[in-house]
Amino acid sequence: MGKVRVSLTVNGVVHQDEIEPRLLLVHYLRDVLGLTGTHVGCDTSQCGACTVHLDGRAVKSCTVLAASVDGSAVTTIEGLRPHGQLHPLQEAFWQEHGLQCGFCTPGMIMTGVGLLRDNPTASAEEIRDGLAGNLCRCTGYHNIVRAVQAVVWQMAHTTEMPATVPGDVIPPESLPGGILSSPTGAEIKVPGSKPR
């Protein structure tokens, strides 16, 4: 089958490539663009390790043909923050020990950011429901939920709502500075803040 030309904006950069029509979005991201932060855990739409944002919505990229989303905007885990900074949810995963081997973590975080955008005041139960499509083979679900809860708490105590900015790519200057304490007692260092 002949190749098709696609144009996709990935993490704010326009890419134009000739690809096979059967190429899955996850393989386009990993194999064509080299964005290996998006993982492949099952290839059967069950684990959520491949979750990215497609035009602002969290999707499992192993279920999407790259050619079918020509012209769309994609955000991967690499594009959550510019200049190597961590998104507040990435910080919270670190602070709350929300990962073990880390294989599920990019997908968990991309789903979590979408969840927080849709429901910035999510309860623990709503967080568990929202993450139900993401599997952690290390079974570290408790701390993953705590990490998302920590950002809910953080957003409730700042004037900015960093996880809700459309497109998820947030200029560092828009972030509040400072170090916050979560309900669990762990410190959350907001990007742009000074160490204390």
Identity of the residue, 37 or 140, whose beta carbon is nearer to ligand FES in the bound complex: 140
Least separation in angstroms between CB 86 and ligand FES: 17
- Spacing of C-alpha 34 from chain mean position: 17
Identity of the residue, 85 or 100, whose beta carbon is nearer to ligand FES in the bound complex: 100
Identity of the residue, 102 or 177, whose beta carbon is nearer to ligand FES in the bound complex: 102
Identity of the residue, 43 or 70, whose beta carbon is nearer to ligand FES in the bound complex: 43
Q: How far apart are CA 117 and CA 160, in angstroms?
A: 13
Give the CA-trace dihedral at 117, 11, 175, 51, to 10 degrees. Answer: 40
Over the Cα atoms of the chain, what is R_g? 17
Q: How far apart are CA 130 and CA 154, in angstroms?
A: 19
Please give the residue ranges that form the binding site for ligand FES (CB under 6 A).
40-43, 45-50, 60, 62, 99-104, 136-138, 140
Least separation in angstroms between CB 160 and ligand FES: 29
Least separation in angstroms between CB 41 and ligand FES: 4
Least separation in angstroms between CB 175 and ligand FES: 26
Q: How far apart are CA 186 and CA 147, in angstroms?
A: 10
